[in-house]
Structures are given as C-alpha cells and as structure tokens.
Structure 1
Amino acid sequence: MSITTFAVAGATGRLGRHVVDVLTERGHRVVPMSRATGVDVITGQGLAEALAGAEVIIDVASWHSSEEEAATEFFRTSARNLHEYGRKAGVAQIAMASIIGADKATAGFLAAKKAHEELLLSGPLPVRILRAAQFHEFVGSLLDWRQGDVAYLPALPTQLVACRTVAEELADLATAPAAPGPPIPEIAGPRTEIMAEAARLLGARRGVEVVAVDGSGMPDAGIAAKGAFLPGPHAKLAGPTFQEWLDAQL
C-alpha cells in the first residue's frame, strides 16, 4: 500500500476524529486541520502551511447550526479556500462527506449541503463525494437540543450509520483509483429505522422522555416521510444497527 499525505479539514469534529483515526491506522500521514490545531478554513489562517506536501484533502468540516443561510456561507467560503490553497499546494484531489438526499433538499441544512457539493464540484481540483446517512452519534445531539426533560423528535425514516463506518468508506473512496459506477456513492446503516424510536432507546438510558411527532415544520418533512432521504439501491449498507452501536458504548 502506498502512503499518502492527507489533510483533514474538520479533524476534531464528530466525523473528523474517526477519519483521522482510520487513516492513521492504515499507515498514512495525516495533517489534522481545525481551529484547535491552528488552521481555519474560513479565514485561511494556517491553511497554506497545513497543506504543504498534502496530496489529498478530506473535507468533513461543518457548520455548528442548521440555519441554511449561515451554513451555506460557511461552505461557500471553505470550498473556495480549500480549492485556492489546495491548488497552490499541488493537492491532487478533494474528498468530501455529504448527506444522502442532499440533492433533493429545498431548505435547511440539507440544502446548504447541496450547495456545498455544487461549490466544491465547480472548483479547479477534482472532487469525490460520499453521501452518508445520518450518524448514530447525531441522535445524542437531538436529545441535547431538547427543552426540559422531554424531547419531541420526528417519526421519520432514516438509515442511521456509525461515524466509524462512514470514515472507513470515505478513506476507501479517497484512496481508490477512479472507476466507473454511481456518480455519487452512498453509505448507510444496515436497516431503516425511525428517528424517534432510535432516540427513545438512548433517552431511556439518559432519563429523557422522547415523544414522537410527525415532523411537520421541519424542512422537507413531507418528502422525508416518503423516504426521500433514505439510501438508494446502489448504496453500501454497513456497520452496526443503532441498538448494536448503543450497546457497544457501555
């Protein structure tokens, strides 16, 4: 196996930590990029130095809220900077993590990720995209955002996947030779689950009551209820179910 130097944007985030671990375990050189390591993909601080000698950028940096306009602006700036600084550094390609169903989104954070994909694809460097289902780890965040002791969460279908599984697939994509196949590959968990039911499993361990709601008022809830954000027929299904993942956390 040839050793590649990867620069990971968002290296200390929920997914980024796993990407760094996977690449390191596989013997690659990894340059973690985040504000915690002195690299800011928005202001450009430390970016040129971090990308010196890098062959591939993995972009898993994300915005901290679901507000569409702010998230889109974050992705617009980060995409421009990664392309600009990456081209000057001689980077060969960018691999990024997106979300299954982003291409169908019309509002909210998913629409911002749709713009993120388009912005990266329009830049000078070759870009490879992996679309992932919502993470197992995301369920805990939903409970953390609750008001009081009750969490009202949507009874919408999802195919939750472990961050570690996504990181492994993204590392595979970033190191694989170009090959014919689906234009944008997808990675999801092994089965369809209901978000509120998964949250109820975690809530029972945290002492949080979870009440299922229909999701009305959420961006694109109507098409989500019909399965628009579930993996397509070409998706890779891998990793533990939410219950298996939860049991392994103990």
Structure 2
Amino acid sequence: MRIAVAGGTGWIGRFVVDAVRTAGHEPVILARSTGVDLIRGLGLDEALTGAAVIIDVSNTSTSSRKRSETFFGTATGNLLAAGRRAGVRHHVALSVVGIDRVNLGYYAGKRRQEALVLDGAVPATVLRSTQFYEFAAQLVAYPGPIAVVPALLTQPIAAHEVARCLVDLAMADPAGLVPDIAGPHQLRMPDLARRLLRARRRHRVVLPVRVPGALGRTVAAGGLLPTGHGPRGTQTFDQWLASPAARRTTRWAR
C-alpha cells in the first residue's frame, strides 16, 4: 500500500516513514525536498497518485495565531482537496493534547486543522498526542550557558511510539477524533531538560520559566495532560535517553 506522509522529513515524520516501511508499506514523502509544496499545492496530485492513505504530520514553528491558522488551514485544505481528487480513502492527522483548553496561538492553527479534517470530504482520523521526549532536546539545542525551559507539566511520549500508533490507525477504518495518546508518566519539562543535559554530559543551567496569567494557570492545572483512557507509550524517559532514537535526535537538533 502507498501511504503518503506529509511532513515526512521532520522529527516525527521520519519516524512515521520508518514505521510505514516496517509495516511493509511504501511511504511517499510529501515535502519541499521531494518536490511537494503543501502551501502552494504544487506536486500534490502527482505525489498522491495511487496513494490509499495520507498521514499528516506537517508542522510550522510559530507562536503567532495568524501564522499558525494560515499554515494549517492552507496546507490541510490543499491536502484534503488533492486527496479527494486522488481517491485517498483515509486521512490521518496528528494533533496535540490540550488544544481545546490551552490558549496558545500555535494551538489555534491546530484547532483549525482538526475542524477541516473532521468536516472534510475524505474520511478521517485525528490523534492528539502529548509532547514528545524529543521536545526537551529541542529546548536545549541552542547554545549558551543557560537553557530557558517552560515549567510545563506534561505526560511526554517517545515520538516513535506515536508514529507506530499513527500507522496502526491508518490501517484501520476512519474513526474521527480518537482517544489521546500519552507517555507512561507525568513529568515536568525542566526535569526532562536537566536529565537530558546530564546524560549528554553538558554543563548548562536549566532556568524554569512559569507561564504567566490564565495560560499558566491552565497549564499548571493539567491543561496539557490527556483526558480519559487512551493508548499509552511504554518507553520511559530514561529508557529513551539510552536508545538510538535519542542519538538520532541529537543529530537532528538545530
């Protein structure tokens, strides 16, 4: 089966591509480096020829509500339209736990994406995930003696476990918004950053920053935690630190 992976060259996208291959299917990477522009819609029709499923893990780095809504609205609209023309039977999108409770500009774009996917002409599934362990690596990737890390309470998960779940969902029938996926334990992001730096033998000070105002109160009250029952990863953060996935994250860090 041909499975198109939008954003297949990104951090989570690489794991999804690997999971598609491991499951015995053919991944088709939708990214600018492969001649596909999600925003302009260029190359989509050709790339989706013969594809049965789209897994969308495309992303943008912005805290601006307008930019996030523009990116996810445009990219998702183009993907759905091209998928309908190509006869794609299932559109699977990755979203974020807490976007309906936490008022971040980036999350406004994810809400826009979810609405388009769930109301679109292509049968769809949306999976919300908590933050990845790899997010801690992103936060400490930049040089300097101090790593500023938001004091977030989350239930992080290894990205490769989310990738496998996305591929499993892609093989099943479309199911709309499915239960949240999360890791095995609730943890605070500054603690993850410290443990990561210690494992890499890097001497930096981690400065936790409390999110101000109503947003901070929502996050402190568990706004980023999963609700109800759902799939849970089994790999702990310490196990992840010792795994090849953590070493891959080091190479990808900007």
Query: In the alignment, which residue of structure 2 is the partner of 1:158?
Result: 154
Q: 1:185 is matched by which residue type in structure 2?
A: P
Alpha carbons 1:150, 1:210 under 8 Å: kept: yes
Q: 1:187 aligns with which of 181, 186, 190?
A: 181
Q: 1:232 is matched by which residue type in structure 2?
A: T
Alpha carbons 1:52, 1:89 under 8 Å: kept: yes
Q: 1:208 aligns with which of 193, 204, 210?
A: 204
Residue 247 (str. 1) matches residue 217 (str. 2): no
Q: Distance in 2 between matches of 1:50 and 1:23?
A: 16
Alpha carbons 2:153, 2:222 under 8 Å: kept: yes
- TM-score, with length taken from structure 2: 0.90
Map 1:61-210; keep pairs closer than 5 Å: 61-145=58-142, 148-178=144-174, 183-204=177-198, 205=200, 206-210=202-206
Offset at residue 183 of structure 1 (A) = 4.1
CA RMSD of aligned residues (A): 1.8
Q: Distance in 2 between matches of 1:156 and 1:19?
A: 26
Q: 2:133 is matched by which residue type in structure 1?
A: H
The one-character-per-residue Cα deviations of 1:70-109 (angstroms, maximum 9, x if unpaired) are 1110001011101111111111120010011112232321
Q: Secondary structure, in 3 states, of the residue corresponding to 2:51?
A: coil
Q: Secondary structure, in 3 states, of the residue corresponding to 2:11?
A: coil
Alpha carbons 1:203, 1:210 under 8 Å: kept: no
Query: In the alignment, which residue of structure 1 is the partner of 2:226?
Result: 231
- TM-score, with length taken from structure 1: 0.91
Alpha carbons 1:105, 1:111 under 8 Å: kept: no
Offset at residue 234 of structure 1 (A) = 1.1
Structure 1 unpaired stretches of 5+: none
Alpha carbons 2:123, 2:174 under 8 Å: kept: no
The one-character-per-residue Cα deviations of 1:34-55 (angstroms, maximum 9, x if unpaired) are 1111111111111110001111
Distance 1:139-1:193 versus aligned 2 partners, 3 A rule: same
Offset at residue 122 of structure 1 (A) = 2.4
Distance 1:177-1:121 versus aligned 2 partners, 3 A rule: closer
Query: In the alignment, which residue of structure 2 is the partner of 1:222?
Result: 217
Q: Distance in 1 between matches of 2:32 and 2:234?
A: 30
Q: Distance in 1 between matches of 2:217 and 2:111?
A: 18
Q: Please list every run of at least 4 consecutive aligned residues from structure 1 whose deviation after the TM superposition is greater than 3 angstroms.
A: none
Q: Secondary structure, in 3 states, of the residue corresponding to 1:103?
A: coil
The one-character-per-residue Cα deviations of 1:98-131 (angstroms, maximum 9, x if unpaired) are 0111122323212221221112222211110011
Structure 2 unpaired stretches of 5+: 248-254
| Corresponding pairs, count | 243
Q: Distance in 1 between matches of 2:203 and 2:38?
A: 38
Q: Distance in 2 between matches of 1:226 and 1:111?
A: 20
Offset at residue 178 of structure 1 (A) = 4.9
Give the percent of matched residue pairs that are identical in Structure 1 and Structure 2. Answer: 42
